[in-house]
């Protein structure tokens, strides 16, 4: 069993690590404080080929594998979660449905702009009454005179309301016991986007409520066969969990990095606090758990790249790294002491950004349900 990264994967990791350190880190605190979307960084990420990393070159992507994509998301999250989720939601949730289930005509129409980062894509699944129970969607779409007329709303949707947002793929009931997915272009009459939602963390990412009132979507925007939406979004969520697991690893690594550096600087009782066994043991535990979380995540990505079943491994990775990032952010802030509670220290931002990793893309409880099902329970 070869656990080494390929030269191409190492190049992606190192390139994104350098970009995150040199371009994201200097502005991350400011973007968070101002709740400002990172347009310039997204443009540069697009130029690097990172907004369509796993999309084939024939559709304008970089043609990278899932392992490379997971490494890229980890490195971005290590510095800033808002930038990372912008890339992850655009790629895994917004662009992937069109690549996986779209017709050739739909792929040619949408993917080049999305894979280049010229336009952003979103995925509208969650509703006010349909969170963990995603199949409880109440948004409807009725076929009338060559158009799907959509009525309903979506909640907590990432990337739908920026100046460069191009489309959102939404789940809707196209029959009494039938869910389908539809691509809705930004600017479509009857499609309304709320003001940005105020959040605990991820403040520089775009999160909105979407409303549809007599919104006429061309019949040709149906994604895949009618009635396949439920199975489609389950597959999308399986893949998306790899990217969120990578975010969990990245945030844990970032929190560890901050705690390690601070422990080597801070003095108490006449010596660096890194000399105290209590601090050493915390850092030793974190370093060990981060390696385990990274291995789980890359294993799921590796299985996906080989066309093998990966849903169980993705759920395990997402569950483990979500809880790991919680411990890492908490322990790192504890090591920082009172200074960690101040917004001028980066750990306070990581602490706030962490919690959503245990909620989005399926809560910890949902992951345990998925894992139990795969175990045959």
Query: Among all residues, which ones are annotated catalytic?
Result: 361
10 Å CB burial of residue 95 (0-12, 13-18, 19+) is buried
- Cα(163)–Cα(259) distance, integer angstroms: 37
Give the DSSP per-residue string, 5-69. Answer: PPHHHHHHHHHHHHHIIIIIHHHHHHHHHHT---HHHHHHHHHTT-TTTTS-GGGTS----HHHH
* Interior/surface letters 239-278, b for 16+ CB within 10 angstroms, e for the rest: bbbbbbbbbbbbbbbbbbbbbbebbeeeeeeeeebbeeee
The answer to whether 70 and 301 have CB atoms below 8 angstroms apart is yes
- Cα(168)–Cα(162) distance, integer angstroms: 12
* Residue 108, CA atoms < 13 Å, CB-side half-sphere: 3
User: Measuring CA to CA, which residue among 39, 50, 47, 42 is closest to residue 17?
Assistant: 50
- Cα(80)–Cα(2) distance, integer angstroms: 31
- Which segments of 249-359 are extended strands (E)? 267-268, 271-272
Tokens of 202: 């991820």
The answer to whether 201 and 358 have CB atoms below 8 angstroms apart is no
């Amino acid at each position: 069993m070869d656990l080494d990264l390929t030269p191409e994967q190492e190049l992606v990791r190192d390139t994104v690590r350098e970009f995150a350190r040199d371009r994201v880190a200097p502005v991350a605190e400011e973007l968070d404080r101002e709740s400002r979307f990172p347009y310039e960084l997204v443009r540069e990420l697009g130029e690097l080929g990172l907004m369509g990393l796993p999309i084939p070159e024939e559709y304008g992507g970089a043609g990278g594998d899932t392992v490379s994509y997971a490494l890229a998301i980890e490195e971005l999250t290590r510095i800033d979660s808002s930038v990372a989720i912008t890339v992850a939601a655009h790629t895994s949730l917004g662009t992937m449905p069109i690549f996986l289930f779209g017709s050739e005509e739909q792929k040619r129409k949408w993917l080049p702009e999305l894979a280049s980062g010229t336009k952003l894509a979103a995925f509208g699944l969650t509703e006010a009454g349909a969170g963990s129970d995603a199949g409880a969607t109440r948004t409807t779409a009725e076929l009338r005179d060559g158009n799907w007329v959509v009525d309903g709303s979506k909640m907590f949707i990432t990337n739908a309301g920026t100046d460069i947002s191009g489309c959102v793929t939404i789940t809707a009931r196209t029959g009494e016991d039938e869910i389908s997915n539809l691509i809705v272009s930004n600017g479509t009459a009857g499609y309304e986007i709320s003001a940005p939602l105020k959040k605990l963390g991820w403040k520089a990412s775009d999160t909105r409520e979407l409303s549809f009132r007599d919104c006429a979507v061309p019949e040709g925007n149906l994604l895949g066969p009618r009635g396949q939406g439920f199975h489609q979004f389950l597959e999308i969520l399986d893949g998306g969990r790899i990217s969120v697991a990578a975010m969990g690893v990245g945030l844990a690594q970032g929190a560890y990095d901050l705690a390690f550096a601070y422990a080597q600087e801070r003095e108490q009782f006449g010596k660096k606090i890194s000399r105290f066994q209590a601090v050493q043991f915390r850092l030793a535990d974190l370093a060990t758990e981060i390696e385990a979380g990274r291995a789980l995540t890359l294993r799921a990505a590796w299985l996906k790249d080989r066309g093998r079943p990966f849903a169980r491994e993705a759920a395990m990775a997402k569950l483990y790294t979500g809880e790991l990032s919680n411990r890492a952010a908490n322990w790192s802030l504890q090591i920082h002491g009172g200074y960690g509670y101040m917004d001028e220290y980066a750990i306070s931002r990581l602490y706030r950004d962490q919690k959503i990793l245990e909620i989005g893309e399926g809560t910890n409880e949902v992951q345990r349900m998925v894992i139990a099902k795969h175990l045959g329970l």
